[in-house]
Copies of this chain bind each other. A is one copy, B any other.
Amino acid sequence: MTGTNLTPLNVWRRAMVDNVRRDAPDLSARQMAALLTVYMTAPPHTVRGLASRLNVSKPAITRALDRLSELGLARRKADPRDGRSVLVQRTVKGSVYLSEFAELIAAAERDGAAQARLGGASSMRR
């Protein structure tokens, strides 16, 4: 009965567990949210824009960008129109990273659907 309700969550669980199991550098929720936003929404992306979109402080975005740059998953570029602004740009490495992540989610969807048919959801006990 609860199986239908939990299916998308089960996909999330599988992807989450697989991600934790990897040795891959694990990004914090904020870092991941920033990375995904940069790659999957229309540019340009600025520090203040990301801060506003994610509802966090600007220093938090600066720190996230420090980390992402350090990993080569994104990079900063001076805005030619406004010297104060910083444009956040994509990298090849970041594209690869997200492609792999997408595949991890896809795999979780496939396996999750298979397991749901076996009734693996179990009951919700108090």
Q: A residues near B, CB below 8 A?
A: 5-6, 8-10, 12-13, 15-17, 19-21, 26, 28-30, 32-33, 36-37, 39-43, 53-56, 90-92, 95, 98-99, 101-102, 105-106, 109, 120-122, 124-126
Contact = CB atoms under 8 A, between A and B. Distances in A.
A12 B19 CA distance: 13
In the A-B complex, the 3 residue pairs with the closest CB atoms: A13-B36, A9-B102, A21-B55
Contact of A29 (B5, B19, B56): B19
Given A40-B10, A126-B92, A102 B5 contact: yes
Given A29-B26, A55-B20, A124 B90 contact: yes
B13 A40 contact: yes
Contacts of A19: 29, 33
Given A9-B102, A124-B90, A16 B41 contact: no
A95 B126 CA distance: 8
A124 B54 CA distance: 22
Given A10-B40, A12-B15, 16 more contacts: A8-B102, A9-B36, A12-B36, A12-B105, A13-B33, A13-B40, A17-B53, A20-B54, A21-B55, A26-B29, A39-B124, A41-B122, A43-B122, A90-B124, A90-B125, A90-B126
